[in-house]
């Protein structure tokens, strides 16, 4: 299906379903996806098995220069973003200068667009790195993926590369002390002959227990909005998302749904 890659380091602003008017920052290469997951629903397509030399990440200096130029232009156009969002062609926290880039972004935001929030969309696989963890504590919207409370489901939906230990990830998410937003993708369908449905009662009950442990400031629930690499996936129905949202609220958390 028609998945796509972002062809720029700074992209947008775009109207985000979840975040408002969002100026995007892609810390990954513009010609290849780089990620520690290979989610079957990823709108960037499959993660390559091997990265070649074309997987060149932008430098901290380059990101700073391009962001400064774009923000100056947005100030001149009186078109400031609601949020500056780290997303793009993979997992932003894999960038070796992630912490420094966050520092620069905070500085530039304060200078040119002080009301804009800074958001990072992450898959929570790099939280064991102290510099990444500390940097995420400095931003407003620290949005971390948790697609299921069952490692077996995560292995089917997110296909982690290398070792993945859900218990450790949950411990790291808990350490944020509420300075974290949990994002969960709900889907139905099948992949390689295996049924996928993380909207079942069993899935939701276990996931709610993890939320109670992590205590996020907000929970974002959403479903497929664009083409995915696997054609046998279906959107979670609005009725299921509404029911899940109700349970999240009853558990005492703020919830945001994107259908």
Residues at the contact surface with ligand SF4, assessed by CB under 6 A: 35, 37-39, 42, 44, 47, 90-91, 123, 158
Which residue, 38 or 104, has its beta carbon nearer to ligand SF4?
38
Asked if 120 contacts 145 with a C-beta cutoff of 8 angstroms, the reply is: no
The structure tokens listed for 15 are 């109207």
Which residue, 80 or 159, has its beta carbon nearer to ligand SF4?
159
Which residue, 46 or 112, has its beta carbon nearer to ligand SF4?
46
Counting Cα atoms < 13 Å in the Cβ hemisphere of 179 gives: 14
We find the least distance from the C-beta atom of residue 77 to ligand SF4, in angstroms, to be 30
Asked if 223 contacts 186 with a C-beta cutoff of 8 angstroms, the reply is: yes
Cβ atoms within 10 Å of 232's Cβ, excluding its own: 13
Which residue, 90 or 189, has its beta carbon nearer to ligand SF4?
90
State how far the Cα of 157 lies from the Cα of 134, in Å rounded to an integer.
28
We find the least distance from the C-beta atom of residue 170 to ligand SF4, in angstroms, to be 17
Which residue, 205 or 225, has its beta carbon nearer to ligand SF4?
225
We find the least distance from the C-beta atom of residue 38 to ligand SF4, in angstroms, to be 5
Whole-Å CA distances, 208 to 165, 180, 225: 19, 15, 24
We find the least distance from the C-beta atom of residue 175 to ligand SF4, in angstroms, to be 20
The structure tokens listed for 39 are 């989610």
Asked if 214 contacts 173 with a C-beta cutoff of 8 angstroms, the reply is: yes
Q: Cα 10 to chain center, whole Å? A: 17
We find the least distance from the C-beta atom of residue 124 to ligand SF4, in angstroms, to be 9
């Amino acid at each position: 299906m028609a998945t796509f890659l972002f062809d720029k380091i700074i992209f947008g602003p775009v109207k985000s379903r979840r975040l408002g008017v969002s100026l995007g920052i892609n810390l990954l290469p513009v010609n290849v996806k780089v990620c520690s997951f290979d989610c079957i629903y990823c709108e960037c397509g499959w993660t390559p098995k091997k990265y070649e030399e074309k997987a060149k990440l932008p430098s901290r200096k380059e990101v700073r220069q391009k962001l400064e130029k774009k923000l100056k232009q947005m100030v001149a156009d009186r078109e400031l973003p609601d949020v500056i969002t780290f997303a793009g062609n993979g997992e932003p926290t894999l960038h070796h200068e992630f912490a420094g880039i966050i520092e620069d972004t905070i500085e530039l935001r304060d200078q040119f667009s002080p009301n804009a929030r800074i958001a990072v969309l992450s898959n929570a696989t790099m939280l064991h790195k102290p510099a990444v963890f500390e940097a995420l504590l400095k931003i407003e919207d620290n949005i971390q993926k948790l697609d299921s409370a069952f490692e077996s489901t995560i292995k089917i939906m997110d296909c982690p590369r290398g070792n993945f230990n859900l218990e450790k990830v949950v411990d790291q998410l808990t350490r944020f002390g509420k300075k974290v937003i949990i994002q969960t993708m709900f889907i139905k369908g099948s992949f390689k002959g295996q049924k996928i449905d993380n909207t079942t009662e069993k899935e939701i009950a276990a996931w709610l227990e993890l939320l109670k442990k992590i205590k996020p400031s907000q929970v974002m629930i959403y479903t497929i909005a664009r083409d995915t690499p696997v054609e046998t996936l279906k959107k979670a129905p609005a009725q299921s998302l509404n029911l899940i949202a109700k349970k999240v609220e009853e558990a005492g958390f703020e919830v945001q749904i994107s259908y």
